[in-house]
Amino acid sequence: MAVAHLGHAEIRVTDLERSRWFFTEVLGLYVTEENDERIFLRAWQDWDHHTLILMRSDHAGIEHVGWRVETPEDMGAYEKQLKELGIEYRWIEGGTEPGQGDGLRFLTPGGMPFELYWEIERFAPQGNLQKEDDSLASALPSHPWKYPSRGIGPRRFDHVNFLTDDPGTEQEWMTRELGIHHRYYAENSDGDRMASWLSRNNLSHEIAVQRNKNQNGALLHHVAYFVDSPDQMMRAATILADNGIEIEWGPGQHGTSGAIFLYCFEPSGNRVEVWTGGFLIFAPDWEPIRWTPDIAPLGYELWGSEMPDTYLTYGTESHFTAVPQRSVSTPG
């Protein structure tokens, strides 16, 4: 048993209107639905009802990340497993999150707020168009939405990244309990784990955990959306700059994955990555690639630009409102 893939993230935003502007007009996501408290977004070729949720809050942060399981039966099996592991969890009833079935929420040992779920509504323009402009529906059955001509226009949701106190332990837990493969990692000169990148699917990673320099628990490092080409990355950078959005780092290239990246901050302060390219992993016996300190700088940025200090220290709060933070107790 293993999760199927990373499905979505819910982030907290302090300025819902400005963040909405950023994610729709600048980044170019589309609203599936929204209410006073939350906005449900997806990229133009995200097939699911949502891949990002903006939640109105008094601080920036991550509310939860959702992993889809492989079969409906796995939901119960995971509940049993969490019990056995002594990890507190909570069921979110289907429909509480629009477009989604029952969710099983818990914190990882290191404090990352995870959700497992099976049911998710497939986005259908005809089903949702009463709320949106039907000029965006495409004639193509492979286009859940027209090819975007607004903003940066990423194709799909890609991955999340957390700062955690102990990335090695966190990686081992995800690999052992959720079947998420370990793909590559960085060590310092003492052999301590500095970061790990993992994926269940063929992406080079769906989740990364990086050592939190301040050792103050799990923080959201960033959420990432995928654009189609290096050229669109350059276009993205120019759109961001001309809209006054600060680019923290990039465009650069991660030598680890070969992906081209940029990081910026959305108006509420969460870090967002625009990402493209890089390799896919098909081998069933993949050996995680080790990045030692002598070569790791090229792993982080192949082209040689300097990593900003904030990259290793800044994150936004990791939350899980439904469960007391970091409490780990055996229910029942």
User: Which member of 1, 124, 295, 307 binds a second copy (CB under 8 A)?
Assistant: 295
Residue of the chain from 188, 216, 238, 327 that contacts a second copy (CB under 8 A): 238
> What SS3 class is residue 284?
coil
The length of the chain is 332
Calculate the alpha carbon distances from 188 to 91, 195, 254, 314 in Å.
39, 10, 18, 20
Min dist. Cβ of residue 181 to a second copy (A)? 13
> Rule CB under 8 A: is residue 28 a binding residue for a second copy?
yes
Return d(Cα 261, Cα 29) in angstroms, integer: 18
CB 95, min distance to a second copy, A: 19
| Options 111, 151, 154, 267; binder of a second copy; rule CB under 8 A | 151
> In this structure, are residues 311 and 249 in contact, taking their beta carbons and an 8 Å threshold?
yes
260 binds a second copy (CB under 8 A): yes
Residue 73 interacting with a second copy (CB under 8 A): no
Q: Is residue 234 within the footprint of a second copy (CB under 8 A)?
A: yes
The verdict on 77 binding a second copy (CB under 8 A) reads no
Please give the Cα distance from 62 to 53 (Å, whole number).
Answer: 10
Q: How far is the CB of 56 from a second copy (least distance, A)?
A: 24
Beta strand pairing call for 156-164 and 219-226 = antiparallel
Interface with a second copy: number of residues (CB under 8 A): 73
Rule CB under 8 A: say whether 303 interacts with a second copy: yes
Q: Where does this chain touch a second copy (CB under 8 A) — which range of 12-20, 188-196, 290-298, 318-326? A: 290-298
Sign of torsion, CA 112 123 155 272? negative
Q: Minimum Å distance from CB 266 to a second copy?
A: 15
Binding mask 83-122 for a second copy (x = CB under 8 A): ----------------------------------------
Q: Would the CA dihedral through 322, 323, 325, 326 be positive or negative?
A: negative
Beta-bridged to residue 42, according to DSSP, are: 30
Residue placing its CB nearer to a second copy in the complex, 48 or 97 = 48
Q: Which residues contact 14 (CB under 8 A, 6 or more apart)?
A: 57, 58, 59, 60, 268, 269
Before 251, cis peptide (omega within 30)?
Answer: yes
Residue window 35-54: x/- pattern of binding to a second copy, with contact defined by CB under 8 A: ----------x-xx------
Q: Does 67 bind a second copy (CB under 8 A)?
A: no
Q: At 24, list the tokens.
A: 């729709």
Contact letters (x/-) for a second copy, 186-225, by CB under 8 A?
A: ---------------xxx----------------------
Q: Give the number of other CB atoms < 10 A from CB of residue 245.
A: 17
Q: Pick between residue 46 and residue 97 the one whose CB is nearest to a second copy.
A: 46
Cβ proximity to a second copy, 12 vs 182, nearer residue = 182
Residue 103 · residue 115 · CB < 8 Å? yes
